[in-house]
A and B are shown apart, each in its own frame.
Chain A
Amino acid sequence: MKVGYYPGCSLKGMEDAYSISLISSFKVLGIELVEIEDWNCCGASVIPSYDYKFANALAARNLALAEEQNLRTIIAPCSECYNRLAYINYKMKNDAGYMEKMNKILSEAGLEYRGTVEVKHAVDFLVNDFGIDKIKEKVKNPINKKIASYYGCLFVRPREISVESAENPKTMDSLVEALGGTPVDYDGKTKCCGASLVVSNEKVGLQTIKNVLDSIKETEAEIIVTSCPLCHANLDTQQLTIEKEFKVNYMLPVMYFTQLLGLALGLSEREVALNKNLTYEVLKV
């Protein structure tokens, strides 16, 4: 099975543990990812802050490229990328006037988008399109742990592109269960980690991350799984900073859902780049 792939900048950079584990674990499942040729940055939250229209047109260029390259479905593993691409896709498909406006801009670059592409978050694709049963069949090493799935914001909100209810999402929990884990329930599943606030306003940014970690700490979770490089960097990389700044102790190992998936499917820690997580050592104590 082949599916289009929009990696985004983070997965090509510091958060490559996500792309490494995505590619290796999907391969075991027989899913081949076809990268959109010459894709550009989705604009993240910075370009829309600078120039909203330009940001939307940047997202539209990626859709036009995918269409030109005959990719009917593209998966975006980064929730921010997913959000940007899926929303513009929704707008263009459902608002003819908007479609025309965007295409007027794209035409300056010799591009056009007709609305034939579907954008999916990687978790959504895996659980709802590929299917839980097929994953279960391939599990070799069930993960016998209590696991908190952290959904964050951008694939459950806004409504137009929401994969499922933002109040109590279940997709990742059902994956965790299929992999042999025990999902834990907590009220911070879709609480915001502050995204890039930690760069622009560190004090507030660290506080929002702390709020999420606090709500997970109250549960019996042994592992946190993430589905977004921004959430991951915040909960994993910044966990140590927060422990120092606030004099707290979490010791909560964080991993991408694709790393958990790969391990359950029998891949080695190296094959899913597990040791790249800053909280990796915590897992070993």
Chain B
Amino acid sequence: MIAEEVSKISGENPFACFQCGDCTGSCPVSFAMDYGPRRMIHLIQLNLEEEVLKANTHWLCASCYNCTYRCPRNISFTRISYALRNISVKRGIYPNKTTKIFYEIFLDHMLKYGRFNEGIFVREFVAKGGKGLKELLRDINLGLKLWKKGKIPKDVDKIDKLDQIKKIYEACVKEEKEDKQ
């Protein structure tokens, strides 16, 4: 059940919501969402999994915590959004190719360097087709301006104890497997 899964990951209780709509009213991105946070929570309460995962809401969420700050029932839709993305990613559902490439490179950097490596990111992102041609040309233009200013994406050092990051990751993956059993 989607409601249960969301609770488990986020620690939030969607059933505490009394549908006041403060969250949607406060959301800076609701204008572009299929359903605002309030309606999304309602769908979760009803366990309409397909409807929930199909929506673009959680992908457009900018994690600004406006909804969380204003909710009279102390629910964080921000964290619910994170949970919905976790669930989607595990099933290979992404809103678009750009996001998929962005996420995959980021996680890879985390495990390979322990940090996000802008320099390598830009190269990989372009090579994997994360940008359309029109945006790419515009960005190259912008890139030149940045470069003139000495504002170039740098390769950061990787951390010394990378094995710790790997062990932490493995521990999280293992816990999840045990949870499922």
Chain A residues packing against B (C-beta within 8 Å): 9, 12-14, 16-17, 38-41, 43-54, 57-58, 61, 104-106, 108-111, 153-154, 157-159, 162, 166, 191-192, 194-197, 199-204, 207-208, 211, 237, 240-241, 275-278, 280
- Which residues between 56 and 95 of chain B lie within 8 Å of chain A, taking CB atoms? 59-60, 62-66, 68-69, 76, 78-79, 82-83, 85-86, 89, 95
The reply to whether B153 and A13 contact each other, CB–CB distance below 8 Å, is yes
Of the stretches B34-42, B46-54, B155-163, the one at the interface is: B155-163
The reply to whether B149 and A57 contact each other, CB–CB distance below 8 Å, is no
The reply to whether B165 and A105 contact each other, CB–CB distance below 8 Å, is no
Which chain B residues border A39 with CB–CB below 8 Å?
A: 159
Which chain B residues border A237 with CB–CB below 8 Å?
A: 142, 146
Which chain A residues border B142 with CB–CB below 8 Å?
A: 237, 240-241
Which chain B residues border A61 with CB–CB below 8 Å?
A: 164-165, 168
- Chain B contact residues (Cβ within 8 angstroms of A): what range? 35 or more
Alpha-carbon distance between A199 and B145 when the two chains are bound, in angstroms: 19
Tell me the minimal C-beta distance from B112 to chain A in angstroms: 11
- Which residues between 120 and 179 of chain B lie within 8 Å of chain A, taking CB atoms? 135, 138, 142, 145-146, 149-154, 156, 159-161, 163-165, 167-172, 175-176
Measured CB to CB, the nearest residue on chain B to A236 is B151
The reply to whether A38 and B159 contact each other, CB–CB distance below 8 Å, is yes
Q: What 14 new A-B contacts, CB under 8 Å, besides A14-B146, A157-B65, A237-B146?
A: A12-B115, A12-B154, A13-B153, A41-B116, A49-B103, A50-B86, A52-B83, A109-B167, A159-B68, A162-B69, A201-B59, A203-B32, A207-B31, A208-B28
Known: A158-B76, A197-B62, A201-B59. A50 touches B85 (CB 8 A): yes
Q: List 28 A-B contacts (CB under 8 A).
A: A13-B116, A14-B146, A14-B153, A40-B165, A41-B114, A48-B82, A49-B85, A50-B85, A51-B172, A52-B86, A58-B110, A61-B168, A105-B175, A106-B168, A108-B170, A109-B161, A153-B62, A166-B69, A192-B64, A194-B28, A194-B29, A195-B63, A195-B64, A197-B62, A200-B98, A201-B59, A277-B149, A278-B151
Set B31, B79, B102, B175: member contacting A200, Cβ < 8 A: B102
Set B31, B65, B146, B165: member contacting A58, Cβ < 8 A: B165
Measured CB to CB, the nearest residue on chain A to B100 is A200
The reply to whether A40 and B114 contact each other, CB–CB distance below 8 Å, is yes
Set B62, B98, B102, B106: member contacting A208, Cβ < 8 A: B62
Measured CB to CB, the nearest residue on chain A to B165 is A40
Known: A48-B82, A237-B142. A108 touches B168 (CB 8 A): yes
The reply to whether A50 and B98 contact each other, CB–CB distance below 8 Å, is no
The reply to whether A201 and B95 contact each other, CB–CB distance below 8 Å, is yes
Q: Does B9 contact A (CB under 8 A)?
A: yes
The reply to whether A52 and B65 contact each other, CB–CB distance below 8 Å, is no
Which chain B residues border A278 with CB–CB below 8 Å?
A: 145-146, 149, 151
Measured CB to CB, the nearest residue on chain B to A15 is B151
Which chain A residues border B116 with CB–CB below 8 Å?
A: 9, 13, 41, 44
Tell me the minimal C-beta distance from A180 to chain B in angstroms: 27
Tell me the minimal C-beta distance from A141 to chain B in angstroms: 23
Measured CB to CB, the nearest residue on chain B to A16 is B154
Alpha-carbon distance between A61 and B60 when the two chains are bound, in angstroms: 29
Tell me the minimal C-beta distance from A19 to chain B in angstroms: 12
Which chain A residues border B86 with CB–CB below 8 Å?
A: 49-52
Alpha-carbon distance between A52 and B62 when the two chains are bound, in angstroms: 16
Q: Does B16 contact A (CB under 8 A)?
A: no
Which chain B residues border A158 with CB–CB below 8 Å?
A: 65, 68-69, 76, 78
The reply to whether B154 and A54 contact each other, CB–CB distance below 8 Å, is no
Set A40, A41, A276: member contacting B149, Cβ < 8 A: A276
Measured CB to CB, the nearest residue on chain B to A165 is B69
Q: Does B20 contact A (CB under 8 A)?
A: no
Q: Does B118 contact A (CB under 8 A)?
A: yes
The reply to whether A53 and B65 contact each other, CB–CB distance below 8 Å, is no
Tell me the minimal C-beta distance from A144 to chain B in angstroms: 26
The reply to whether B65 and A46 contact each other, CB–CB distance below 8 Å, is no
The reply to whether B168 and A153 contact each other, CB–CB distance below 8 Å, is no
The reply to whether B156 and A9 contact each other, CB–CB distance below 8 Å, is yes
Which chain B residues border A13 with CB–CB below 8 Å?
A: 116, 118-119, 153-154, 156
Which chain B residues border A192 with CB–CB below 8 Å?
A: 28-29, 62, 64, 66
Measured CB to CB, the nearest residue on chain A to B174 is A108
Measured CB to CB, the nearest residue on chain A to B171 is A108
